[in-house]
Amino acid sequence: MRKKWMAVILISVLFLTMAAWGSNGNNTNKTNSQETEQAGNGIVSQKDDSETEDKASVETLPEESEDSAEIQSEENNDSHILIAYFSRVGNTDFPEGIDALSSASLILKDGEIYGNTQYIATLIEQYTDGDLFLIETEEKYPADYDETDEQGGRENRERTRPELAAHVQNIDDYHTIFLGFPIWYYDMPMAVYAFLEEYDLSGKKIIPFVTSGGSSFSDSISEIQKLQPEAEVETDGFKATHSKINDVTPENVGEWIAGLKL
């Protein structure tokens, strides 16, 4: 009899440990929760690699989606506005406990760490109810800022096109695309070139927004137009420098969007 109880207790402990482990796995980092949000926002995207860390959120999807590594929204959100952005957060494996306050490229809001461009993207989302989409590279950038700086410089000189890890499958559903990125080497990060080369955005409106250390749009607006000659590219983009990012209010972004007369 005693043996039987011990077996019951052992099985219960094992079960509880596995449950706790599983729930942590779904909250390991912000990218995972972002991915769930993206999938729930009506974007139909496809991950190239089902073995990436984001798989934790994919696991909650129906089995056939997981097998084909496809993320398919079950909500029928009829937003026609896409907010596609590239940012260091989401494209970097940061160690636990990263110090957001001492980094030029991270901000802390309400206990959450955001990339500068990601933060502006979330403000745009508040005003437009558009669908957020992270332009995500297959390979993460180094957590060390200087190493990312070096890598970004190398990619820019060599005009590399990094492989993208997620793709918008329902791009035709969107008539307006807010496109956000940090200025890297007075230019768009190469991942943004890869994004723009992947789709035919003819007839759509592209509205750029950038963050930087001080540079403005540089040639990025004309580069976007070159890559998407049949799209209407807004020249009145939004820009913010990283030292002032905490001063950007939702109202600033709201006023800019109101002026666009979408």
Ligand X SMILES: Cc1cc2nc3c(=O)[nH]c(=O)nc-3n(C[C@H](O)[C@H](O)[C@H](O)COP(=O)(O)O)c2cc1C
**Collapsing DSSP states into helix, strand and coil, what is residue 19?**
helix
Among 59, 51, 49, 50, which Cα is nearest to 27's? 59
Would you count residue 237 as binding ligand X (CB under 6 A)? no
Cβ nearer to ligand X, comparing 204 with 242? 242
Measured from each CB, the residue nearest to ligand X is: 152
DSSP 249: -
Cβ nearer to ligand X, comparing 154 with 175? 154
- With CB under 6 A as the contact rule, the residue among 32, 242, 248, 256 that binds ligand X is 242
- With CB under 6 A as the contact rule, the residue among 122, 148, 176, 220 that binds ligand X is 148
Would you count residue 149 as binding ligand X (CB under 6 A)? yes
Q: Which residues have CB under 8 Å from 170's CB, separation 6+?
A: 42, 43, 44
Would you count residue 143 as binding ligand X (CB under 6 A)? no
Q: Interacting stretch for ligand X, rule CB under 6 A, among 46-54, 57-65, 176-184, 196-204?
A: 176-184
Among 96, 100, 115, 117, which Cα is nearest to 27's? 96
Q: Interacting stretch for ligand X, rule CB under 6 A, among 12-20, 34-42, 113-121, 164-172?
A: 113-121
Among 139, 94, 137, which Cα is nearest to 114's? 94
Q: Interacting stretch for ligand X, rule CB under 6 A, among 43-51, 196-204, 212-220, 226-234?
A: 212-220
Q: Which of residues 150-169 bind ligand X (CB under 6 A)?
A: 152
Residue 179, strand partner residues: 84, 208
Q: Distance between CA atoms of 133 and 188, rounded to whole angstroms?
A: 17
- Min separation Cβ 8 and ligand X, Å: 52
Would you count residue 137 as binding ligand X (CB under 6 A)? no
Cβ nearer to ligand X, comparing 46 with 215? 215
Cβ-contact 80, 128 below 8 angstroms = no
Cβ-contact 237, 209 below 8 angstroms = yes
Cβ nearer to ligand X, comparing 42 with 105? 105
Backbone angles phi, psi at 216, to 5 degrees: -95, -150
Amino acid making up residue 249: T
- Min separation Cβ 239 and ligand X, Å: 10
Cβ-contact 206, 228 below 8 angstroms = yes
Residues that bind ligand X (CB under 6 A): 87-88, 104-105, 115-118, 148-149, 152, 182-186, 211-215, 242
